Structure 1
Amino acid sequence: MDPAKTIPLEGRGDDLLRFGIHGVKSDIIEPHPLQSARRSAKQTQEETKKKILANTYGSAFPMKMEMDRQILAKFQRPPGAVPSSFVGLEAFTGTMEEFGFEDYLNDPRESESYRPVDLHHGMEVRLGLSKGPPCPSFM
């Protein structure tokens, strides 16, 4: 049998029963125009901060800070009822001092329509055994 004509049996990302109908529009544009402006402003701010630190302390210092940030971003709880808090990463990057939308509009995980992530599917996605949308509890 020709391998080009076979259907792979691994986990599929287009599972309509589990994930619903996929819309391409949501991949192209963001829900609000200010999100792209905020993200680009944050990226330019981080780049200028790295340049200033490299000019002041040498080029190894921003690399060390990036390595520390990656290490702190790795520690996560298993997907399920308790989401990862990333307190160390928030303290390191200074995002603890930011006032986000969830501080005054409520956290989306606390709403009545929020469904907790399936533990088994979340671990399959994390380990690369299944494809699907990323689970919000460990992102």
Structure 2
Amino acid sequence: MFRISSVCLCLFASLAIADESSSKPARLTVAQKNGWAVYDAELKKKEDAVNKACGSAVKSSYEKASYPAFDPMKDRTQSACQSAVGTLVEVCGTADGKAAVKESVTKTVCRLSTDGTKVSLDGGVLTIHIDPVKRSISGKNPENYSYSWKSALEEVL
């Protein structure tokens, strides 16, 4: 009886330690830090263009935690993120689009995805899901394979 409870206690303790250590972010290399700095600077340019065109105060960022093995030399999702955020300028080309962005979007977040490339809007946060494998943009109609960033954004706004 003593052995079973000791084994259980050790198992729970090791699980707790493993869980605690897995929640710590990995140390970034200089290349990764520089890569993120470039990504952030380029995204800021898109953010500024959106705010100028839409009369908004949208903030944009990457959900860096969704990039578990970020390699700035191999990753190519930044262009999709910048393209999607930049497309908000086109959406604001109409009065209805401009009003929708101003009223509905306070923040854009680009997230690495494994369940398709798409956009979602929740509580003012426009999330841009970028799947490097499933690159076609999807929307509410699964049979429609001709979504663009503009049509996907207009569909959620």
- Indicate whether the TM-score tops 0.5: no
Higher-helix-fraction structure: 1
Give the alignment's TM-score, normalised by structure 1: 0.31
